[in-house]
Amino acid sequence: MMIERPYQVSMRLEARIRRKAAQFFGGERAIWMGDRPCVTFGFDDAPMSAVETGAAILERAGARGMFYLCAGFWGKTTHFGEMAGRAAVERLVVAGHEIGCHSAAHWDCAAIGPEPTLADLDDNRRRLGPLLSGARLQHFAYPFGSASLPLKRALSARFVTARGVRRDLIRGGFDRLNMPALLVNSAPDCMAKAKRALQSAIARRAWVIFFTHDVREQASPWGVKPGDLADLVAQATDGGARIATMSEALALGQTASARLND
Q: What is the pLDDT of residue 15?
A: 55
> How many angstroms separate the CA atoms of 29 and 174, rounded?
6
- pTM attached to this predicted model: 0.90
pLDDT tens sequence for the chain (262 residues): 444 555 555 566 565 655 555 566 567 889 999 999 999 999 999 899 999 999 999 999 999 999 999 999 988 999 899 999 999 999 999 999 999 999 888 888 777 788 999 999 999 999 999 998 777 899 999 988 767 888 899 999 999 999 998 889 999 999 999 999 999 999 999 999 999 999 999 999 999 999 999 999 999 999 999 999 999 999 999 999 999 999 999 999 875 444 444 4
pLDDT in tens, 28-57: 889 999 999 999 999 999 899 999 999 999
Q: What is the pLDDT of residue 96?
A: 96
* CATH number corresponding to 30-259: 3.20.20.370
Q: What is the pLDDT of residue 227?
A: 98
Q: What is the mean pLDDT of the chain?
A: 88
Give the relative orientation of helices 188-204 and 226-238 as an angle to the nearest 10 degrees: 20
> How many angstroms separate the CA atoms of 141 and 99, rounded?
11
215 dihedral zone (left: phi>0; alpha: psi -120 to 50; beta): beta
> How many angstroms separate the CA atoms of 237 and 38, rounded?
10
Q: Where are the domains of the chain?
A: 30-259
